[in-house]
Chains A and B, each alone.
Chain A
Amino acid sequence: MDRDATSDVNAPHSMGTTIIGVTYNGGVILGADSRTSTGLYVANRASDKITQLTDNVYICRSGSAADSQIVSDYVRYFLHQHTIQLGQPATVKVAANLVRLLAYNNKNSLQTGIIVGGWDKYEGGKIYGIPLGGTIVEQPFAIGGSGSSYLYGFFDQAWKDGMTREEAEQLVVKAVSLAIARDGASGGVVRTVTINSEGVTRNFYPGDTLPLWHDEVEAHGSLLDILNASNPEPMST
């Protein structure tokens, strides 16, 4: 009973996940939660699901951790060679196409949904969604992972074209935190990566900086906080 897929710590790691990519006026912002689960066990509560492919292209990974890592390794390798051959940075479209060729041609073996986002000098900021079967869709914003189910309605209402960088970042963080509140397979911290003509910026939002939604209870620190408090009685707050 203890060796079934829900509680065996050696079972395949899956990133329940909430991943998001949005374009804004000048670039793109990629966002993700940080929970990697094996069944009910959280294998990594601070994972980084936003992976670099080139200086100007990053991807958000969801689904099987192994599958998404392998795909990103291959595409990084191909893009590197392509960049050398071309003599200039690869475009986001090319990166996305390489991802989808792998996803489509190996659809029977892979289980990973990927969002490709980046900036190049020809098209500016672009987001491409590549869900399970290997379709490629260029979108002004994309959402993926188990937590994204809870965000479709939210984005329908909250998404606007031509947002500023700050607006877009707040939108992404809000969305991921909403998904974390409802999806058991998403949690931890919110990470964002902003890519534009000037370069790449990473941001990190720890769990306690995220807003609390309906019915959510305030997080407590560790037991040490209680011991160091003036009134070291457990369960006193």
Chain B
Amino acid sequence: MSSIGTGYDLSVTTFSPDGRVFQIEYAAKAVDNSGTVVGIKCKDGIVIGVEKLIASKMMLSGSNRRIHSVHRHAGMGVAGLAADGRQIVARAKSEAHNYESTYGEPIPIKELADRVASYVHLCTLYWWLRPFGSGVILGGYDRDGPQLYMVEPSGVSYRYFGAAIGKGRQAAKTEIEKLKLSELTCRQGVIEVAKIIYGVHDEAKDKTFELEMSWVCDESNRQHQKVPEALLEEAQAAAKAALEEMDAD
């Protein structure tokens, strides 16, 4: 539902006559145009995957990380403007640290998501601040089990079984809906996420991409970490094979 907001889109503190804040919607477009980020909640944990579009062949592989650990038990995948995303991650780390210092326990994921969302929303309230041009998918494992949240530039935050943001989000969401998440382990989930990301990558429009994945599950001892090399390679191989199968049809 794109429309031009001429006259009402110069400031984040201006509403349009039909009740929209265009600056926030424009911020969301920055997220929509970025590489896809996918997150799913399996029965024993969370898997996050990112389609890292490679801007230049000179970049070292493994650099420009898009998934960050916020605390031992939680991590977030970032889409949209990278620098904005870095700020959100920094804030999340700070909130998690402060919570633990005060309350003596790791921050519950719901609380972390609320705090990140409040912070992102804060930047949509003042004319002298611009909204964040990034959205995040937050996954973590606390004493209530694994949980997945998504925070958008508007400051909205919901809990999900599966979520996707960025270019290929529509296709990704369709694929996620086909999965029986409550029966998948994270090991299987990693393979599925890789397949989804390879599947939604548009060869024609975009250049090469690098797959970055992380998980937090029982197998990783409830710590947020990069998916182990061996499993990552297995996932990539399976994804490429699935693509060829599709092409062969």
Q: Interface residues, chain A, CB within 8 Å of chain B?
A: 82, 85-87, 91, 93-94, 96-98, 101, 122
Known: A85-B111, A86-B111, A122-B143. A93 touches B102 (CB 8 A): no
Residue of A nearest to B108 (CB): A86
Cβ–Cβ < 8 Å partners of B108 in chain A: 86
Residue of B nearest to A128 (CB): B104
CB-CB contacts of B105-148 with A at 8 A, as 1s and 0s? 10010110010000000000000000000000000000100000
B102 touches A101 (CB 8 A): yes
Q: How far is the CA of A218 from the CA of B108 in the complex (A)?
A: 55
Cβ–Cβ < 8 Å partners of A96 in chain B: 104
B111 touches A97 (CB 8 A): no
Q: How far is the CA of A87 from the CA of B109 in the complex (A)?
A: 13
Q: How far is the CA of A97 from the CA of B104 in the complex (A)?
A: 6
Cβ–Cβ < 8 Å partners of B105 in chain A: 91, 93-94, 97
Interface size on B, residues (CB 8 A): 9
Known: A85-B111, A86-B108, A86-B111. A97 touches B143 (CB 8 A): no
Which residue of the partner chain, among B103, B110, B114, contacts A97 with CB atoms under 8 Å? B103
Q: How far is the CA of A122 from the CA of B142 in the complex (A)?
A: 11
Query: Could you list 11 examples of A-B contacts with CB < 8 Å?
Result: A82-B103, A85-B111, A87-B110, A94-B103, A94-B104, A94-B105, A96-B104, A97-B102, A98-B102, A98-B103, A101-B102
Q: Which 10 pairs show the lowest CB-CB distances between chains A and B?
A: A97-B104, A94-B103, A122-B143, A93-B104, A97-B103, A93-B105, A94-B104, A94-B105, A86-B111, A86-B108
Closest Cβ of chain A: how far from B111's Cβ, in Å?
6
Within 8 A of A (CB), among B176-231: none
Q: Interface residues, chain B, CB within 8 Å of chain A?
A: 102-105, 108, 110-111, 114, 143
Cβ–Cβ < 8 Å partners of A94 in chain B: 103-105
Q: How far is the CA of A159 from the CA of B242 in the complex (A)?
A: 64
Q: How far is the CA of A17 from the CA of B236 in the complex (A)?
A: 67
Closest Cβ of chain A: how far from B221's Cβ, in Å?
18
Cβ–Cβ < 8 Å partners of B103 in chain A: 82, 94, 97-98
Closest Cβ of chain A: how far from B51's Cβ, in Å?
35
Instruction: Kindly name the residue among B104, B108, B143 whose own CB sees the greatest number of chain A CB atoms within 10 A.
Output: B104
Cβ–Cβ < 8 Å partners of A101 in chain B: 102
Closest Cβ of chain A: how far from B98's Cβ, in Å?
12
Q: How far is the CA of A199 from the CA of B33 in the complex (A)?
A: 54
Q: How far is the CA of A86 from the CA of B115 in the complex (A)?
A: 11
Q: How far is the CA of A91 from the CA of B106 in the complex (A)?
A: 12
New contact pairs (4) apart from A93-B105, A97-B104, A101-B102, CB-CB < 8 Å: A85-B111, A91-B105, A94-B105, A97-B103
Residue of B nearest to A78 (CB): B102
Cβ–Cβ < 8 Å partners of B104 in chain A: 93-94, 96-98
Q: How far is the CA of A131 from the CA of B40 in the complex (A)?
A: 46
Cβ–Cβ < 8 Å partners of B143 in chain A: 122
Cβ–Cβ < 8 Å partners of B114 in chain A: 85
Q: How far is the CA of A82 from the CA of B114 in the complex (A)?
A: 13
Q: How far is the CA of A97 from the CA of B102 in the complex (A)?
A: 7
Closest Cβ of chain B: how far from A2's Cβ, in Å?
47
Cβ–Cβ < 8 Å partners of B102 in chain A: 97-98, 101
Closest Cβ of chain A: how far from B201's Cβ, in Å?
39
Residue of B nearest to A85 (CB): B111
Q: How far is the CA of A150 from the CA of B114 in the complex (A)?
A: 49
Closest Cβ of chain A: how far from B166's Cβ, in Å?
31
Q: How far is the CA of A130 from the CA of B224 in the complex (A)?
A: 33
Q: How far is the CA of A85 from the CA of B95 in the complex (A)?
A: 14
Cβ–Cβ < 8 Å partners of A93 in chain B: 104-105
Cβ–Cβ < 8 Å partners of A85 in chain B: 111, 114
